[in-house]
A and B are shown apart, each in its own frame.
Chain A
Amino acid sequence: MAGSATAAHPTAGTTLKMVVGKSDTKPTWCPGCGDFGVVAAVEMAVKRLQIPSHDVVIVSGIGCSSNLPHFLSSYGFHGIHGRALPVAEGVRWANHGLTVIATGGDGDGFGIGAGHFVHTMRRNVDMTYVTMDNQIYGLTTGQASPTSMMGHKTKSTPTGVIENPIDPIALALASGATYVARGFSGDVKHMAELVANGIQHKGFAFVDALSPCVTYNKLNTFDWFRQRIYKLEGSGHDPTNLQLAWQRALEWGDKIPIGLFYKTDRPTYEDLEEVLAAGPLTKQPSGLKGREDLLKEFL
């Protein structure tokens, strides 16, 4: 699928203004925040696919990064902490003609929402999930997050984190995600490619975006990542090979891979939910007029 990101979305609009762009709300993030790179990548990806803005729904939870839906011109849903994915699933099942993208932070997705993360992946719901992973709680002013590294000193862990961090890539592989990638806010074009391919992927696409917090995370900074990241593309990695994906997923130290770890094809939840075979629920008839046959079982 790589390289096909320029193919037009089936319901692509004809006028450019219909395509997702910036909204009239300016991001409220700190200057230099990694999330600027992520919103730019998401915007670039949907623009490239020419999906009409009214067919895109961006769903988020709570946290600095979860404000993202307000900054783009598509439909959006800015829900409660940790629940972006179930809302996104509901939207998708109501109308599976829509392009559904969930966005949020590491606390939202891997802490309070970890249960939903695992279950949405095993269902292979056809949607894209972009996490802005800054390894810290920013909006609540600097506590440890589920991806904070061992030893990281934060407001809530003044002597250092004593829990092993969650590895979102490995968790995604273990949970059955069918598209698993990692991007870096410092490389917007690369991330946009990952997001665009994720949107085009038929199934659950997960993009963990390394998105440094310039205010509260003084450990995992842009420079820290720049010294370590390398691209899987061109490194001899085969993203169709689950074993190799596992090996690369476990790399986190002097070298940190970004790019596509794994991609496979599996029927989506929408494929297997037979009621949806008749088309999006929004377009199906509703109610039981003239369906007295249903009452026979009660006689």
Chain B
Amino acid sequence: MEEIAIRSGGAAGDGIASIGETLSKCLSRMGLHVFGFNAYQSVIRGGHVWFQARAAKERVYSQGDGCDILYALNKETAQIHLPSLRRGGVLVYDPENFTVADSELPVGTRALSVPTLAVARKFTSQPILQNAAGLGAVSFLAGIPLEVIQRTIADSFGTKKGDVVDWNVNGAGEGYRYAQQHGAPVGSAVAPAGPPKYLMAGNQAIALGAAAAGCKFLSQYPMTPASSIMHWMAAHSHQVGVVVKQAEDELAAINMAIGASFGGVRSMTATSGGGFSLMVEALGMAGMAEIPLVVVESQRCGPSTGLPTKTEQGDLNLMLGAGQGEFPRAILAPTHPVDAFRATIRAFELAEAWQTPILVASDLHLSESYATVDPGELDLNVDIPSLYTVEPNGGEYLRYRYTPSGVSPRSFPGQPGLNYVSGSDEHDEKGHLISDVKSGVPIWVAERTKMMSKRMRKLDGLAQATELPQILGPPSAELSFVAWGSTVGAVRDAMALLAARGVATNLIHLPTVYPIHAAELGRLLGSAKRTLLVEANFSGQLGRLIRAETGIHLTERLLKFDGEPFYPMEIVGRATEVLSHGR
């Protein structure tokens, strides 16, 4: 597959993310598929940050491995990333920032020095404007037309007009022309490939999906990497008619969302593992009180505060077991922004249909990476039925009526004749608690068993209503990868690399991590010739769940917990190793 990868790097505060986002947008506007990966640290200034924008005509599912253009704002970036510069690649730098000797360049690569700071000084004393000249030079090398980069830069200022916008646009022009005079595009330079595509981060897709699903209330406490769900929704609060509440803590956030759901609107909260840990008690209450609730858990590297800006899939055990006692839940694991949009909509539908919490398992890599979406892939026209489905019929209203499905008719405050008390204590069909003077009395002991069974019956319905394990690629492949969530992206890219080498592989992935659909999964795994479990955690948490639910022990594994996303080549390497066993 022909592709281009542009990497930029520097210190936090240098504007690296905005360089990367601008380049990603240029490429998506040219009709290419893009994956944008922002590698940053838990600092506001200093340190080392970098961004990789990777593009191709076919869909790219990960940040890929090497790069073709490396735009380095400091020496550290050059030192760290030059080894990734592919043959034919170019290092772009300003000798005023640092110098580089030819001997430091990998074989087959070249360097282009661009006087970006000198260009900046023509307009302003602010050195950050060097980025505009850098963007211009990089665009020329990458095949991005001048008008595309200039337009994209201008658009990034929104409706803002004036000197700063002009300086940036003109600075890019100067950088572009300098590169034109002193260099040549890289061999993998791109050309316009079709109508523009959408470029969005996983969290934007989740927020958009929530609003499309009829969410009216989102409460959150800031925590990386979930915060940008709140940011998007808050910025569009009026346009989409969603109340966004930044709560005092995650305890309040989830309890507010539960209150809003009880009050009669679809609601959601989102957090990362630390915040989710605080939400655990209330999650169980939503299960007990049978209140629809969508919770997005965007995982980051743990345990504890861990690596706050780095990715991991280490919270599966937590999500499976969160809450004392047992209650029905589902865990959806989207792999890509398109998937995240749809999974969020599905989460709302499931939460409402089964009156229980539904978790959307994201992680930093999915939540914050950018990917292209074809316009036809996002359908905002979601049918949203009224929540008010129960009318008084003269008889006694039983909020927790026993039904074959376990789902009982739900009324809302404000509806006459359907008053009830919802609660976290065990209760009877009417909602009366059986936790104090009735507990231990034989008829109420039986009642508890009946009520618990009623709730847990919903798990059967959830299993029926959720997406089955999927197989991608040829069914008779020599090797079956097993993965979930954002890791699926790098596996898909690895599969393409292996296919190019003549090695056919497939992927068994789980859009629904729980309930796990053991029979279907067992069938897929049973027909696999060899398997390789790929997960971003220490112990292989999905592998453990699969073993518990199907009895199948996936012994070949590629596990990583260094905070970095999977790179296709490391998956290719491990797959090759596994395939060579016993040959």
Q: Which residues of A contact B (CB under 8 A)?
A: 18, 23, 25, 28, 52-57, 59, 62, 67, 69-70, 73-80, 82-83, 85-95, 97-98, 115-116, 118-119, 273-276, 278, 281-282, 284-292, 294-295, 298-299
Pair A97/B414 contact, Cβ less than 8 Å: yes
Chain B proximity of A95: nearest CB distance (Å): 5
Closest to B216 in A: A281
Choose among B236, B424, B432 the residue that contacts A294 (Cβ–Cβ < 8 A).
B236
Closest to A82 in B: B251
Pair B213/A93 contact, Cβ less than 8 Å: no
Given A54-B417, A298-B204, the answer on whether A78 and B264 have CB atoms closer than 8 Å is: no
Binds A, one of B121-129, B239-247, B551-559: B239-247
Interface pairs (5), CB distance under 8 Å: A55-B414, A75-B413, A77-B421, A273-B243, A278-B241
Chain B proximity of A147: nearest CB distance (Å): 21
Q: Does B550 lie at the interface of the complex (its beta carbon under 8 Å from any beta carbon of A)? A: no
Pair A94/B419 contact, Cβ less than 8 Å: no
Given A25-B432, A80-B424, A88-B259, the answer on whether A94 and B264 have CB atoms closer than 8 Å is: yes
Choose among A25, A76, A80, A281 the residue that contacts B217 (Cβ–Cβ < 8 A).
A281
Q: Does B257 lie at the interface of the complex (its beta carbon under 8 Å from any beta carbon of A)? A: yes
Given A57-B413, A281-B265, the answer on whether A286 and B214 have CB atoms closer than 8 Å is: yes
Given A78-B422, A282-B264, A299-B198, the answer on whether A70 and B432 have CB atoms closer than 8 Å is: yes
Chain B proximity of A220: nearest CB distance (Å): 25
Q: Collect the chain A residues with CB atoms within 8 Å of residue B425's CB.
A: 78
Pair A94/B421 contact, Cβ less than 8 Å: no
Query: Could you tell me the distance between the alpha carbons of A15 and B417 in the complex, rounded to whole angstroms?
Result: 13
B171-209 interface bits toward A, Cβ cutoff 8 Å, 1 = contact, 0 = none = 000000000000000000000000011111000100010
Query: Could you tell me the distance between the alpha carbons of A69 and B289 in the complex, rounded to whole angstroms?
Result: 15
Choose among B241, B289, B381, B423 the residue that contacts A284 (Cβ–Cβ < 8 A).
B241
Chain A proximity of B541: nearest CB distance (Å): 27
Q: Collect the chain A residues with CB atoms within 8 Å of residue B387's CB.
A: 282
Pair B237/A59 contact, Cβ less than 8 Å: no
Q: Does B523 lie at the interface of the complex (its beta carbon under 8 Å from any beta carbon of A)? A: no
The CB with the most chain A CB atoms within 10 A, among B281, B375, B413, B415, is that of: B413
Closest to A25 in B: B432
Pair A91/B266 contact, Cβ less than 8 Å: no
Among B347-385, those with CB < 8 Å from A are 373, 375, 378, 380-382, 384
B244-269 interface bits toward A, Cβ cutoff 8 Å, 1 = contact, 0 = none = 01011101110111111111111100
Among B196-237, those with CB < 8 Å from A are 196-200, 204, 208, 211-217, 219, 236-237
Given A281-B243, A284-B216, A289-B380, the answer on whether A79 and B251 have CB atoms closer than 8 Å is: no
Choose among B29, B212, B217, B267 the residue that contacts A288 (Cβ–Cβ < 8 A).
B212
- Chain B interface size range: 35 or more
Chain A proximity of B31: nearest CB distance (Å): 11
Query: Could you tell me the distance between the alpha carbons of A287 and B259 in the complex, rounded to whole angstroms?
Result: 20
Pair A90/B217 contact, Cβ less than 8 Å: yes
Pair A83/B243 contact, Cβ less than 8 Å: no
Q: Collect the chain B residues with CB atoms within 8 Å of residue A77's CB.
A: 259, 262, 289, 421-423
Given A91-B262, A119-B252, A287-B214, the answer on whether A274 and B238 have CB atoms closer than 8 Å is: yes
Query: Could you tell me the distance between the alpha carbons of A298 and B382 in the complex, rounded to whole angstroms?
Result: 20
Q: Collect the chain A residues with CB atoms within 8 Å of residue B281's CB.
A: 80
Pair B204/A78 contact, Cβ less than 8 Å: no
Among B271-305, those with CB < 8 Å from A are 281-282, 285, 289
Closest to B284 in A: A80
Pair B424/A289 contact, Cβ less than 8 Å: no
Q: Collect the chain A residues with CB atoms within 8 Å of residue B433's CB.
A: 67, 70, 78
Query: Could you tell me the distance between the alpha carbons of A59 and B256 in the complex, rounded to whole angstroms?
Result: 12
Q: Collect the chain A residues with CB atoms within 8 Å of residue B219's CB.
A: 90
Q: Does B418 lie at the interface of the complex (its beta carbon under 8 Å from any beta carbon of A)? A: yes
Query: Could you tell me the distance between the alpha carbons of A287 and B382 in the complex, rounded to whole angstroms?
Result: 7
Pair A28/B437 contact, Cβ less than 8 Å: yes
Chain A proximity of B578: nearest CB distance (Å): 39
Given A75-B421, A90-B261, A90-B263, the answer on whether A98 and B414 have CB atoms closer than 8 Å is: yes
Q: Collect the chain B residues with CB atoms within 8 Å of residue A92's CB.
A: 259, 263
Query: Could you tell me the distance between the alpha carbons of A62 and B380 in the complex, rounded to whole angstroms?
Result: 41
Query: Could you tell me the distance between the alpha carbons of A286 and B241 in the complex, rounded to whole angstroms?
Result: 7
Pair A94/B382 contact, Cβ less than 8 Å: no
Choose among B253, B373, B416, B423 the residue that contacts A52 (Cβ–Cβ < 8 A).
B416
Q: Does B167 lie at the interface of the complex (its beta carbon under 8 Å from any beta carbon of A)? A: no
Pairs A-B, 8 closest by C-beta atoms: A90-B259, A94-B263, A78-B423, A76-B421, A86-B255, A87-B259, A298-B198, A286-B214
Query: Could you tell me the distance between the alpha carbons of A282 and B237 in the complex, rounded to whole angstroms?
Result: 16
Pair B259/A59 contact, Cβ less than 8 Å: yes
Choose among B238, B251, B252, B373 the residue that contacts A298 (Cβ–Cβ < 8 A).
B373
Pair A292/B243 contact, Cβ less than 8 Å: no
Q: Collect the chain A residues with CB atoms within 8 Å of residue B252's CB.
A: 83, 85-86, 89, 115-116, 119
Pair A94/B424 contact, Cβ less than 8 Å: no
Choose among A70, A75, A78, A275 the residue that contacts B242 (Cβ–Cβ < 8 A).
A275
Q: Does B412 lie at the interface of the complex (its beta carbon under 8 Å from any beta carbon of A)? A: yes
Q: Collect the chain A residues with CB atoms within 8 Å of residue B414's CB.
A: 54-55, 95, 97-98, 282
Pair A53/B419 contact, Cβ less than 8 Å: yes
Q: Collect the chain B residues with CB atoms within 8 Å of residue A88's CB.
A: 259
Q: Does B420 lie at the interface of the complex (its beta carbon under 8 Å from any beta carbon of A)? A: yes
Given A80-B281, A91-B260, the answer on whether A282 and B412 have CB atoms closer than 8 Å is: yes
Q: Collect the chain B residues with CB atoms within 8 Å of residue A276's CB.
A: 243
Q: Collect the chain A residues with CB atoms within 8 Å of residue B289's CB.
A: 77, 79
Chain B proximity of A85: nearest CB distance (Å): 8
Query: Could you tell me the distance between the alpha carbons of A62 and B255 in the complex, rounded to whole angstroms?
Result: 14
The CB with the most chain B CB atoms within 10 A, among A52, A67, A83, A298, is that of: A298
Chain A proximity of B437: nearest CB distance (Å): 6
Q: Does B163 lie at the interface of the complex (its beta carbon under 8 Å from any beta carbon of A)? A: no
Pair A93/B238 contact, Cβ less than 8 Å: no
Pair A90/B420 contact, Cβ less than 8 Å: no
| Contacts beyond the supplied A77-B423, A278-B241, A287-B380: 9 A-B pairs with Cβ under 8 Å | A54-B418, A57-B413, A75-B413, A78-B421, A80-B282, A289-B382, A291-B380, A294-B236, A295-B375
The CB with the most chain B CB atoms within 10 A, among A54, A278, A295, is that of: A54
Given A54-B417, A77-B421, A86-B247, the answer on whether A94 and B265 have CB atoms closer than 8 Å is: yes
Q: Does B102 lie at the interface of the complex (its beta carbon under 8 Å from any beta carbon of A)? A: no
